[in-house]
């Protein structure tokens, strides 16, 4: 049974992205489970500031030594910041998946947040994957 870190204050998708609301913006990244499944991350391709993203649509890609995967938006919004550290150090996602956010968005729709998994539900989902 997989045990995954899913801290309080985060919401998760079934595709293993997370969102954390901070005031009127939200940070988006990938879960501990996702980074472990991908293995050593070598590249992250993220959208430019100003791009509008829609819930469930791809907003970028992440590549590891094993695979390349699309990143899916847990919520809709406008990208207001991109984590530039990831272009220099993509492996930071492996060592700190919750500290290594990918994008910050504004224009949060609370009804979209309600559709996401809370930490307990996400841990339950992951426990069934092994």
CATH number, position 35 = 2.40.50.100
Number of helices (H), then strands (E), belonging to the chain: the values are 5, 9
Instruction: Kindly state the percentage of the chain with pLDDT values over 90.
Output: 95
What is the pLDDT at residue 2? 53
pLDDT for 10-29, tens place per residue?
Answer: 999 999 999 999 999 999 99
The answer on pLDDT for 9 being more than 50 is yes
pLDDT number for residue 4: 74
Within a domain: 47? yes
Contact 68, 13 (CB under 8 A): no
In a domain, 5, yes or no: no
Q: How many domains does the chain have?
A: 1
Domain with 65 in it: 10-109+118-128
Give 58-114 pLDDT, tens digit per residue: 999 999 999 999 999 999 999 999 999 999 999 999 999 999 999 999 999 999 999
Tell whether 69 is covered by a domain.
yes
Examine residue 4 and state whether it is found in any structural domain, yes or no: no
Q: Are 35 and 2 in contact (CB under 8 A)?
A: no
pLDDT at 1 over 50: no
């Amino acid at each position: 049974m997989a045990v995954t870190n899913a801290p309080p204050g985060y919401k998760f998708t079934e595709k293993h992205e997370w969102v954390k609301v901070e005031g009127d913006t939200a940070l988006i990244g990938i879960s501990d489970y996702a980074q472990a499944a991908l293995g050593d991350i070598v590249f992250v391709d993220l959208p430019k500031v100003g791009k509008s993203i829609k819930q469930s649509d791809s907003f970028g890609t992440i590549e590891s030594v094993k695979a390349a995967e699309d990143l899916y938006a847990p919520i809709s919004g406008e990208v207001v910041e991109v984590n530039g550290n990831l272009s220099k150090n993509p492996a930071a996602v492996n060592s700190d998946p919750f500290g290594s956010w990918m994008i910050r968005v504004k224009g949060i729709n609370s009804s979209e947040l309600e559709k996401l998994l809370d930490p307990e539900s996400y841990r339950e989902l992951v426990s069934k994957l092994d």
